[in-house]
Amino acid sequence: MSQLRGDYKSVWNSLAGTKRDAYLHVSGHTDEEKFHDDGEDTAEILRETVGIRRDDVVLEIGCGVGRVGRVLAPFVKEWVGCDVSSNMLRLAGRRLLGIPNTRLQEISGYDLRPFADRTFDVVYTTVVFMHLEEWDRYTYVLEAFRVLKPGGRFYCDNVDLASPAGWRVFEESRRQFKPMERPAQISKCSTLPEIETYLKRAGFADVQVAGRLDFWVYGWGTKPVAG
Ligand SMILES: C[S@@+](CC[C@H](N)C(=O)[O-])C[C@H]1O[C@@H](n2cnc3c(N)ncnc32)[C@H](O)[C@@H]1O
């Protein structure tokens, strides 16, 4: 193992050295049309869970090249994407060129320090938790709570270990890599109780968790108005 999983900045800058590599590590393919369709799918999931409104100021944690932001921005007041990787953000900047209500921010990989308390209506993170240590997943849930306005909504997802396809991900990685040869960004699954615990412990109300397509676990909740 040449890089530490928790050294997110160095790991993800090296995975996004070229546009092709960045696309592959974001979604497993490089086709722009499919990339756009995938973004539409994620936007639809956000509509079904936290809801998307015209006057929402939205933050995506780990926005990559703006796969979702490009689709979502026309439907909200402002979309802000943050990511640990400056290489991802450079590519995101190109993809979002000409979409005026978007903004990008580099972050440390461990917190949302550039953002003030009570700034956003919606915070979401998708296809990111699988690459993080559990503690760092929870820290982002806590940070999302901090930067959300009272009444603001949070969404996160991961591969569901208990689903058939999630178990395949787990087993394939176990068999494919020797312990010292595991890639730093290797996907690690979650379970519904794990995600539910993070949201409840962080203080979210109306917490819901769901499995989907025999692969994903989704969790979402609301910051209490008195929080
Ligand atoms: C698989 S990509 C998903 C990108 C985007 N969410 C999407 O669905 O298109 C994972 C993203 O998480 C970012 N990332 C990895 N570790 C991070 C961390 N600790 N903090 C913030 N972003 C991180 C990577 O740079 C990368 O852009």
Atom 16, ligand 1: residue with shortest CA distance: 8
pLDDT of the residue at 226: 78
1 within a domain of the structure (yes/no): no
2 within a domain of the structure (yes/no): no
pLDDT of the residue at 90: 97
Cα 204 to middle of ligand 1, angstroms = 23
Give the number of the atom of ligand 1 that is nearest the alpha carbon of residue 60.
Answer: 6
**What CATH number did the domain enclosing 168 receive?**
3.40.50.150
3 within a domain of the structure (yes/no): no
Q: Is residue 1 scored above 50 in pLDDT?
A: no
Range from 22-31, 74-83, 118-127, 188-197 carrying the lowest mean pLDDT: 22-31
- Per-residue pLDDT, averaged over 131-156, amounts to 98
188 within a domain of the structure (yes/no): yes
Answer for the pair 187, 179: CB distance below 8 angstroms, yes or no. no
Give the count of domains, the chain.
Answer: 1
- Percent of the chain clearing pLDDT 70 (strictly above): 99
Cα 27 to middle of ligand 1, angstroms = 11
Q: What is the pTM of this model?
A: 0.97
Mean pLDDT of the chain: 95
Cα 52 to middle of ligand 1, angstroms = 21
Q: Is residue 219 scored above 60 in pLDDT?
A: yes
Kindly write down the DSSP assignment for every residue of the chain, as one continuous string. Answer: --S-TT-HHHHHHHHTSSHHHHHHHHHS---HHHHHHHHHHHHHHHHHHT---TT-EEEEES-TTTTTHHHHGGGSSEEEEEES-HHHHHHHHHHTTT-TTEEEEE--SS--TTS-TT-EEEEEE-S-GGGS-HHHHHHHHHHHHHHEEEEEEEEEEEEBTTSHHHHHHHHHHHHHS-GGG--TT----B-HHHHHHHHHHHT-EEEEEEEETTTEEEEEEE--TT-
71 within a domain of the structure (yes/no): yes
Q: Is residue 7 scored above 80 in pLDDT?
A: yes
Which of 8, 13, 128 for a ligand 1 pocket mutation test, highest count of atoms within 8 Å of Cβ? 128
pLDDT of the residue at 3: 87
Q: Is residue 163 scored above 70 in pLDDT?
A: yes
Cα 96 to middle of ligand 1, angstroms = 17
73 within a domain of the structure (yes/no): yes
39 lines ligand 1 (CB under 6 A): no
70 within a domain of the structure (yes/no): yes
- Per-residue pLDDT, averaged over 100-124, amounts to 98
Cα 81 to middle of ligand 1, angstroms = 10
- Domain of 107? 8-222
pLDDT of the residue at 96: 97
Q: What is the pLDDT of residues 170-186, one digit of tens each?
A: 999 999 999 999 999 99
